[in-house]
Amino acid sequence: MNTDYNLYRIFLYLFEEKSISKTAQKLYVSQPAISYSLKELETQLGYTLFYRNSKGIEPTLEAKELYSYVSTAFNILNDAEEHIKNLNNLSIGCIRIGTPSYIGRFYLSNFIAEFRKIYPGIRFEIVCKSTADMVEMLETRKLDIIVDTLPINTKKEVKKVTLTKLQNCFAYNKKLMKDVKLNKVEDLKNYPLLLPSATTSIRLKLNEYLESQNTKLEPIVESWTNEIMMEMVRDGVGVGYFVKNVIDNQIDKDDFEVVTFGDTLPAVDVCCVYVDDFLTTATKKFVELLTNKVGE
């Protein structure tokens, strides 16, 4: 098989940009050259890869299938190049981490600061998406590690290292919601509630706990992000459910009343997940830093 890797490189840009003109600008070549390369690849494969429309081009089903393979292949090549560059002294490189924003803020930031004191040439790329999206990125080598709460389900064989356990809590703005009384879990039914989205690991564990208490809660807001819930709780919209560290790290934390019902609310495990064979030298060093701190 005679493979022209430049054709696949152009294909990747076309797929991501959805535009021949933008691809030409990115690659500093003419639009006719891009069109010719696309036609050459389609001829080699025997499939139409893009349809033209008023906005640009739209990938066909065959193109979408091809993209998953080609993007993974190019990510592997990039990782290989990065790995070789980092073998000697870790003077350059990038570590790509997928994590929820709240974990990145109060948990990971200190580790990144410590790591960069040792290896100042290493930069970090932080991706905050749903766990499912981050798992897909890990499996296609677009992420090096995931730091998130369990469960984290993957198709590939991965390593999972529990880093820390986090306590959850309910919290509200005690200045704006002065009459709130939460002595038992059932009391939550009397107030507007803001909860994490139903499919998040934190919410699933909360639901299990509520079932054990013979209680079902109906939130007025469900959110994928802690930042949105925090602003609403700050504005007195209702009572929110958070990892307690999120509240502890707010500048105005004294405005919030934190309720844990005697620490009976379910805790969550924060885990580092990675594919061992995928790790660059820099990422291995960072994982070592994370795992060496377990239990401290």
Question: Could you tell me which residues are beta bridge partners of residue 170?
Answer: 241, 259
pLDDT in tens, the chain (296 residues): 556 788 999 999 999 999 999 999 988 989 999 899 999 998 988 889 999 887 888 999 999 999 989 988 888 888 777 777 665 567 778 899 999 887 888 788 889 999 999 989 888 999 988 788 888 888 888 899 999 887 777 777 888 888 888 888 999 999 999 888 988 888 899 999 999 888 777 888 888 888 888 888 889 998 888 888 999 999 999 999 988 888 888 888 899 999 988 888 888 888 899 988 888 888 989 999 988 866 55
State whether 183 and 219 are in the same domain. yes
The whole domain housing 281 covers 87-164+269-292
State whether 129 and 153 are in the same domain. yes
Whole-model pTM above 0.75?
A: no
- Look at residue 68 and tell me if it is in a domain: no
State whether 287 and 151 are in the same domain. yes
State whether 157 and 13 are in the same domain. no
Q: In this structure, what CATH number is given to the domain that contains residue 184?
A: 3.40.190.10
Dmax (CA) of the chain:
74
- Look at residue 69 and tell me if it is in a domain: no
Query: Which residue, 147, 110, 102, is CA-closest to 250?
Result: 102
Query: At CA 258, angle to CA 177 and CA 263, rounded to 5?
Result: 140
Structural domain total, the chain: 3
Q: Which three-class secondary structure state does DSSP give residue 294? A: coil
CA distance 272 to 290: 8
- Look at residue 67 and tell me if it is in a domain: no
Question: Could you tell me which residues are beta bridge partners of residue 59?
Answer: 50
- Look at residue 75 and tell me if it is in a domain: no
State whether 284 and 217 are in the same domain. no
CA distance 132 to 130: 5
Residue 271: count other Cβ atoms within 10 Å of its Cβ: 18
Burial of 156 (0-12, 13-18, 19+ CB in 10 A): exposed
Whole-number pLDDT of residue 3: 67
- Look at residue 129 and tell me if it is in a domain: yes
State whether 133 and 250 are in the same domain. no
